[in-house]
C-alpha cells in the first residue's frame, strides 16, 4: 500500500488533483515528485495549464524513456497542482512509443494537443506528429484523426529520422494557423481551420544554428521565434513583423540549463507578467525521485523581460523560481 501510495503521489493522481507546493516552498524545478520535460503551457481563463513529458529513465541508464504526458496547473505561478497523466504515446494507435515534446493550443472551445511520437511502418519509419483533441484543457483527450498529421517521409531536408519533431502551433490574428516543427532544419506549414489537416506546402525557415524546439509567440507588433541551438542546447531567438518572416536573428535568450543537453521552452503572458518555462537536469539528490540528469529532466519557470524596443533580455535562471504570486 505504501508503494502504491508513493506511485499515486509521484504521478499526482491521488484524489485527482494534488497540491504540490505552498508559496513558501516556491522553487525550481517546480515539481520534485516526478520528472517532467518539454513544457507546453497555455493560459485559459484564470489558469495556466502546463503539459509536460514524463521522464522515466533510471539514473544508471542512458536514453530517453518517455511514455506519457502529464498536466499541472496554477492560478498564480507559485502554487502548482498535478492532474496526472492526460495521454500516452500509444493512445495514438498508429504510434509505437516515445511521448516527446508537445504543444497545446485552444481554438473555438476545443483544445488541440500536438505531439511528437515514433511511428513504425510506411515508406520511412521515424518520428511523426499526432494531434489529440479535448473539450476541456484537462481532457479527456483522444486522437483527433486516427492517423498521423505529419510523417517522416513528408520531409527529406535532413537524414535523421527525428527531423519532424517538436510541433508548435500559432494562430495568427487573422485566424490562420501554422505549425512550426523540426530538428536540424526548421520548418513550418499552414493548418486548415479544422486544425487537424495540413494546408499547403512545408516551408523552410531561415534562422542560424538551428537544432530544434521551435516556439512562436507574439507580443505587441512583433512575432518571436525561439529555438534551441547547438548541443548542449542554448535558446536563441529571432523577431519578425510577420508570421512568414523575414526573421531577424537577435541572439541568445537562455544559456545551457543545468545538467541537461536538451532544452525546450514555452513562453506565456499571464496576469500581466511574462514567463519563460524550460527544463533542467538539476533535480536535487534528496528529492523524492532522486537526482536529475540528461534523461531525468525537470520543468522550471523564470521571468521573461522585454526591452523597450521589443528585444528580449537574456533569461536569468534561478533555483528560487517565481516567488511573487501573479494576481
Q: Note the residues at the interface with Ca ion (CB under 5 A).
A: 152, 155, 163-164
The residue with its CB nearest to Ca ion is: 155
Q: Rounded to the nearest whole angstrom, what is the least distance from the CB of residue 261 to Ca ion in the complex?
A: 22
Q: Other C-beta atoms within 10 Å of 209: how many?
A: 11
Please give the Cα distance from 270 to 145 (Å, whole number).
31
Q: Rounded to the nearest whole angstrom, what is the least distance from the CB of residue 74 to Ca ion in the complex?
A: 36
For residue 31, give Cα distances in angstroms to 34, 44, 160: 7, 21, 33
Q: Rounded to the nearest whole angstrom, what is the least distance from the CB of residue 198 to Ca ion in the complex?
A: 14
- Determine the distance from the C-alpha atom of residue 75 to the mean position of all C-alpha atoms in its chain, rounded to a whole number: 19
Q: Which is nearer to Ca ion, 151 or 282 (CB)?
A: 151
Q: For residue 72, give the 3-state DSSP assignment.
A: strand
Q: Rounded to the nearest whole angstrom, what is the least distance from the CB of residue 124 to Ca ion in the complex?
A: 7
Q: Rounded to the nearest whole angstrom, what is the least distance from the CB of residue 321 to Ca ion in the complex?
A: 37
Q: Which is nearer to Ca ion, 59 or 122 (CB)?
A: 122
Buried-exposed string 182-200: b where 16+ CB fall within 10 A, e elsewhere: bbebbbbbbbeeebbeeee
Q: Which is nearer to Ca ion, 161 or 318 (CB)?
A: 161
Q: Rounded to the nearest whole angstrom, what is the least distance from the CB of residue 80 to Ca ion in the complex?
A: 36
Q: Which is nearer to Ca ion, 152 or 280 (CB)?
A: 152
Do 225 and 267 touch, CB atoms closer than 8 A? no
59 Ramachandran zone, left/alpha/beta (phi>0; psi -120 to 50): alpha
Q: Which residue has the cell 512568414?
A: 244
Q: Which is nearer to Ca ion, 98 or 155 (CB)?
A: 155
Q: Rounded to the nearest whole angstrom, what is the least distance from the CB of residue 326 to Ca ion in the complex?
A: 40
| Helices (H), ranges, the chain | 2-11
Q: Which is nearer to Ca ion, 204 or 316 (CB)?
A: 204
Closest CA to 114 of 178, 32, 18: 178
Q: Which is nearer to Ca ion, 116 or 282 (CB)?
A: 116
Close Cβ partners of 19 (under 8 Å, ≥ 6 residues apart): 79, 80, 81
Amino acid at each position: 500500500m505504501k508503494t502504491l501510495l508513493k506511485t499515486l503521489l509521484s504521478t499526482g493522481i491521488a484524489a485527482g488533483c494534488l497540491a504540490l507546493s505552498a508559496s513558501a516552498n516556491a522553487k525550481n524545478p517546480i515539481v520534485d515528485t516526478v520528472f517532467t520535460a518539454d513544457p507546453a503551457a497555455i493560459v485559459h481563463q484564470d489558469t495556466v495549464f502546463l503539459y509536460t513529458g514524463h521522464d522515466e529513465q533510471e539514473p544508471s541508464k542512458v536514453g530517453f524513456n518517455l511514455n506519457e504526458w502529464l498536466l499541472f496547473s496554477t492560478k498564480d505561478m507559485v502554487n502548482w497542482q498535478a492532474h496526472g497523466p492526460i495521454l500516452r504515446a500509444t493512445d495514438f494507435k498508429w504510434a509505437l512509443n516515445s511521448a516527446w515534446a508537445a504543444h497545446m493550443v485552444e481554438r473555438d472551445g476545443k483544445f488541440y494537443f500536438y505531439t511528437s511520437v515514433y511511428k513504425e511502418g510506411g515508406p520511412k519509419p521515424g518520428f511523426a506528429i499526432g494531434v489529440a483533441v479535448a473539450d476541456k484543457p484537462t481532457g479527456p483527450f483522444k486522437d483527433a484523426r486516427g492517423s498521423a498529421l505529419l510523417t517522416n517521409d513528408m520531409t527529406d531536408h535532413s537524414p535523421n529520422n527525428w527531423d519532424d519533431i517538436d510541433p508548435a502551433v500559432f494562430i495568427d490574428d487573422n485566424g490562420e494557423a501554422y505549425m512550426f516543427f523540426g530538428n536540424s532544419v526548421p520548418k513550418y506549414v499552414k493548418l486548415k481551420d479544422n486544425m487537424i489537416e495540413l494546408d499547403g506546402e512545408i516551408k523552410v525557415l531561415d534562422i542560424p544554428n538551428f537544432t530544434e524546439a521551435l516556439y512562436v509567440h507574439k507580443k505587441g507588433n512583433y512575432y518571436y521565434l525561439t529555438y534551441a541551438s547547438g548541443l548542449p542546447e542554448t535558446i536563441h531567438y529571432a523577431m519578425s513583423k510577420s508570421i512568414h518572416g523575414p526573421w531577424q536573428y537577435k541572439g541568445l535568450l537562455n544559456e545551457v540549463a543545468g545538467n541537461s543537453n536538451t532544452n525546450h521552452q514555452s513562453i506565456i503572458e499571464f496576469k500581466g507578467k511574462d514567463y519563460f518555462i524550460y527544463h533542467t537536469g538539476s533535480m536535487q539528490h534528496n528529492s523524492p525521485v532522486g537526482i536529475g540528469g540528461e534523461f531525468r529532466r525537470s520543468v522550471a519557470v523564470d521571468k521573461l523581460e522585454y526591452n523597450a524596443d521589443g528585444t528580449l533580455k537574456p533569461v536569468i535562471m534561478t533555483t528560487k523560481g517565481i516567488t511573487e504570486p501573479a494576481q
